[in-house]
């Protein structure tokens, strides 16, 4: 068992969007992949974001989604597409994540295997270190729910993570 976690309070949820996201295909319910094109908020290329199912051939591009009004005022109207972060759906197409399971009435989820590996490392750590100079409440380590990080649930949550790793 890992005894120490050093990067849990520096890693953001956005860091996992640069990798492919695993989702359930809306047509056949098999595993589909969202290609994010190395997504970064500073350099968004919406035409590179697409969902592909190799089982049934389903595919869509994020750039094809209709835009919404994000902001309006007397002088300006801004249009764009919403990103929904932090739940058991993907942030682009709002499809159900492939890597999700239930745990005592709660949902344990991850965007991809990199995210799942991060969660495993944080949860197995008996010592989770924070740098005192930089306090960030945006980090995943500070945002994980208590049921997931509590010592009493550690083994049970790790068992669920292991099941997802082998899905």
**Three-state DSSP state, 102:** strand
User: Are 58 and 52 within 8 A, CB to CB?
Assistant: yes
Percent of the chain exceeding pLDDT 70 equals: 87
pLDDT in tens, 60-82: 999 999 899 988 999 999 998 88
- Output the six-digit token pair for 40: 């970064």
Per domain, the residue ranges of the chain are 4-165
Q: What is the pLDDT of residues 11-31, one digit of tens each?
A: 888 899 999 999 999 999 999
Please report the pLDDT score of residue 74 as a whole number.
93
Least confident of 37-51, 87-101, 125-139: 125-139
Mean pLDDT calculated for residue range 120-143:
71
Provide the whole-model pTM: 0.85
Model confidence at 124, pLDDT cuts 50, 70, 90, reads confident
CA–CA gap between residue 5 and residue 65 (Å, rounded): 39
Question: Residue 90: is its pLDDT beyond 70?
Answer: yes
């Amino acid at each position: 068992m890992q005894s120490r976690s050093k990067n849990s309070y520096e890693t953001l949820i956005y860091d996992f969007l640069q990798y492919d996201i695993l989702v359930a295909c809306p047509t056949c319910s098999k595993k589909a992949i969202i290609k994010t094109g190395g997504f970064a908020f500073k350099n968004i290329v919406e035409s590179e974001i697409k969902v592909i199912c190799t089982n049934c051939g389903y595919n869509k591009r994020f750039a094809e989604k209709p835009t919404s009004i994000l902001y309006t005022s007397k002088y300006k109207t801004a249009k764009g597409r919403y990103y929904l972060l932090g739940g058991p759906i993907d942030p682009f197409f709002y499809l159900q994540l492939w890597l999700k399971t239930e745990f005592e009435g709660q949902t344990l989820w991850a965007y991809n295997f990199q995210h799942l590996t991060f969660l495993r490392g944080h949860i197995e750590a008996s010592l989770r270190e924070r740098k005192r100079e930089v306090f960030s409440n945006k980090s995943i380590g500070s945002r994980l729910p208590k049921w997931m990080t509590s010592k009493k649930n550690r083994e049970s949550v790790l068992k669920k993570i292991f099941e997802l790793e082998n899905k």
